[in-house]
A and B are shown apart, each in its own frame.
Chain A
Amino acid sequence: MKLDTNAIDRLAAEYALGTLKGGARRRFEAMLRQDPELRRAVAAWQDRLHPMALMSAPQEPPASVWEAISKRTTAPAKAAVTARRATHATSSSAGLRFWRLLGLSSTALAAVLAALLIAGGPAGVRPDTFPGAANSVLASHVSVVADDKGKAIMVATLSGDDQVRLRLLEKPVLPAGRTLELWAVPAGGVPRSLGLLENAERQLRLPAGTRPAEAPVLAISIEPEGGSKNPNGPSGPVAYTGKWLPA
C-alpha cells in the first residue's frame, strides 16, 4: 500500500501518540520496517512529543536500582561505583568527571583561551606559531580542544570557506600502535570522522553537515592505528573535546 503525505503524517502522529492500536498498529509497524519515509515521520513526531516526559522535576532513584541493573547487564563494578557516586553527588564529585571531560564546564576557560589565542596570544603562544592568529580576521569559529582538566591539546580555527586549520599544542604520549582521531559531533546523527591527527598541523575542509551550527563539538578519541573501525563513532576512549565558539 502506498500512502500519500497526509496519510503518512496522520498515521505517524497516531502511532507516536499511541492511539493507533491493535491490528492497525501491527500493520503500520510492518510498513514501518519497509519504509524509511514513514520511519522519519514517526521519529519527527516522537521528537516533538518526547519533552512531555521531561516536564516534571528530576527525581533521584535509590542506589539499589543501579545495583540491580549492573548485575543484569554485567556492567563491571567500576562503572557501578561511578554511577552510584554520581547519583549521590551534586556538582563537585569525581562522578561528574565525564561531563567535564566533554567540556561542559570548561566552556568558559575555552572561551578565554580562544580569545587570547586569537588576539595574538599570551606568553608562550606567539602569533606566528599559531595559524589562526595571523589571519584572525578570517576566522569565523575557534575551538580549543582540551582534556578533562581543561588542559588544551589542540586549537582549531575555521574560516568562512569551511577550511579548518588544526594545530596540536603538544603531542600526547600514546601507547604503541595508537593514534588520535578527530570527530565532528553533531546535534543530530552519528559522529563524523574528520580523519587522523598524525602531524602537528593539518588543514582540512569541513564535510557537509559538520559546520559548527550542525556539529557544535569537536572530539578526539584514542584509536588503534588506521582509526576507528566503527563508521558511526569512536571505538576508543574520547580523551579531548572542545566546542566551536564564534570568533
Chain B
Amino acid sequence: MKPEEIAQLRLLLAAVARKDAVAFGQLYQATASKLFAFSLRILVRRELAEEALQEIFVAVWNNASSYNESMAAPMTWMVTVARNKCFDMLRRRSGTEDQSAAMFEQDMLDTLESDDPNPAEQVERRDEARALARCMDGLERLHREAIILAWFQDMSHSEVAAQLKLPVGTVKTWIRRGMDKLRTCLSEWERG
C-alpha cells in the first residue's frame, strides 16, 4: 500500500471515529472487496463471508475510536478486526467446515509459491504484501505451512502439529525460527 493510501485510510478512520457516516461509506468502498476476499479465504462459503463482512464493518463503526491507541497501520487494524470476526464465526460452526482448512492451505501455498502471478495480483502484492510473499517464499516449506495454518485458521501449536502430523515441540521451534527469519527478511526489505 502506498504511503498516501495509508494516510487516506487514517483520515477515514479518524472521521469514522467521529461517527461520520459518509466517511464510513468511503472506508467501505475502499476496503470491502479486500476484506471480503479475505473472509472468503477463511470461511470458504459465500453466505458466511457476507455475514462476516457485515460483522466486521459494524465492529469498525463501533470501535474506530479505539484505533488511535492501537499503534498499528490502518489496514493492519482492519485486518485484525476481520480476523477476529471470521474466527468467531469459524468457532461457532466448528466441526462443519473440516475440509476448508486443507483446501485453503493448498490454495494459499499455491498463491505464495507461484512464480507467475497474474497482473492484477502483481498490483495487489506491491510493497508490503509483495515483500511478505517473498520473505515467506524464503522459508522452508514446512515452517511456512505452520505459520500460514496458525495465522489463517487460528490454530494453536498443538492443532498445527496435529494437522501436519508432527510433534508439538517441533512445530513450536519451526514457527519460532520461521518468524525470526521473517522479521529479519522484512527489515532487510524495509532498509531497501
Given contacts A65-B32, A87-B32, A243 and B14 within 8 Å (CB-CB): no
> 1/0 per residue B40-67: CB within 8 Å of A?
1100000001100110011001100000
Give the contacting residue for A83; candidates B7, B28, B49; CB below 8 A: B28
Please name all residues of chain B whose beta carbon is closer than 8 Å to the beta carbon of A40 when the two chains form the complex: 71
Chain B residues whose C-beta falls within 8 Å of the C-beta of A200 in the assembled complex: none
A118 to chain B, nearest CB (A): 21
Q: In whole angstroms, how far apart are the Cα atoms of A61 and B80 in the complex? A: 19
Contact between B124 and A58 (Cβ–Cβ < 8 Å)?
yes
Decide yes or no whether A91 CB sits under 8 A from chain B: no
Q: Does A47 contact B (CB under 8 A)?
A: yes
A69 touches B28 (CB 8 A): yes
Choose among A50, A83, A86, A98 the residue that contacts B76 (Cβ–Cβ < 8 A): A50
Interface contact A191-B10, CB-CB below 8 Å: yes
- The answer to whether A46 and B50 touch across the interface, beta carbons within 8 angstroms, is no
For the complex, what is the distance from the CA of A6 to the CA of B73, rounded to whole Å? 23
- With A49-B151, A186-B7 in contact, is A86–B29 under 8 Å at CB? yes
Is there an interface contact between B28 and A66, defined as CB atoms closer than 8 Å?
A: yes
Flag whether A175 is at the interface (Cβ < 8 A).
no
| Residue A219 lies at the interface, judged by CB distance under 8 Å to chain B | yes
Say yes or no: is B91 at the interface (Cβ < 8 Å to chain A).
no
> Chain B: interface secondary structure?
helix
Q: Chain A residues near B3: list those with CB within 8 A.
A: 187, 216
Q: Interface digits, A205-238 against B, CB 8 Å rule (1 contact, 0 not)?
A: 0000000000111010000000000101111001
CA distance A102 to B6 in the complex (A): 12
The total of chain B residues at the interface (CB under 8 A) is 76
Q: Which of A17-25, A124-132, A156-164 is near enough to bind chain B?
A: A17-25
CA distance A235 to B18 in the complex (A): 8
Counting chain A CB atoms within 10 Å of each CB, which of B24, B25, B175, B179 scores highest? Answer: B25
Task: Select which of B15, B33, B125, B147 is within 8 A of A55 by beta carbon.
Answer: B125
Question: Contacting A61 at CB < 8 Å: which of B33, B79, B125, B132?
Answer: B33
Minimal beta-carbon separation of A27 from chain B (angstroms) = 16
Docked-complex contact B28 and A191, CB < 8 angstroms: no
Taking a contact as CB atoms closer than 8 A, the residue among B38, B71, B121, B147 that contacts A43 in the complex is B71
A73 and B82 in contact, given A82-B26, A86-B29, A190-B10 (Cβ under 8 angstroms): no
Chain A CB within 8 A of B163 CB: no
B29 touching A69 by the CB < 8 A rule? no
Q: B96 an interface residue at 8 Å Cβ cutoff?
A: no
B63 nearest CB across to chain A (Å): 12
The size of the chain A interface, using a CB distance under 8 A, is 69
CA distance A68 to B54 in the complex (A): 7
Chain A residues contacting B183 (CB-CB under 8 Å) are 13, 48
B8 close to A102 (CB less than 8 A):
yes
Which residues from chain B sit less than 8 Å from chain A, CB to CB? 3-8, 10-11, 14-15, 18, 21-22, 24-26, 28-30, 32-38, 40-41, 49-50, 53-54, 57-58, 61-62, 68-73, 75-76, 79-80, 82-83, 108, 111-112, 120-121, 124-125, 128-129, 131-133, 147-148, 150-152, 154-157, 160, 175-176, 179, 182-183, 186
Known interface pairs A50-B79, A83-B26; 17 further A-B residue pairs with C-beta atoms within 8 A, sorted by A's residue number: A10-B176, A21-B156, A43-B70, A51-B132, A51-B133, A55-B133, A60-B32, A73-B21, A73-B61, A79-B22, A79-B24, A83-B25, A87-B32, A95-B29, A188-B73, A216-B3, A234-B11
Subset of 19 A-B contacts with CB under 8 Å: A18-B154, A48-B132, A51-B129, A53-B83, A55-B108, A56-B37, A58-B124, A65-B32, A65-B54, A69-B58, A70-B25, A95-B29, A185-B4, A190-B14, A215-B7, A219-B11, A230-B14, A230-B18, A232-B14
- A contact set with B: CB distance below 8 Å: 10, 13, 17-19, 21, 39-40, 43, 46-62, 64-66, 68-70, 72-76, 78-80, 82-83, 86-87, 95-96, 98-99, 102-104, 185-191, 215-217, 219, 230, 232-235, 238, 243
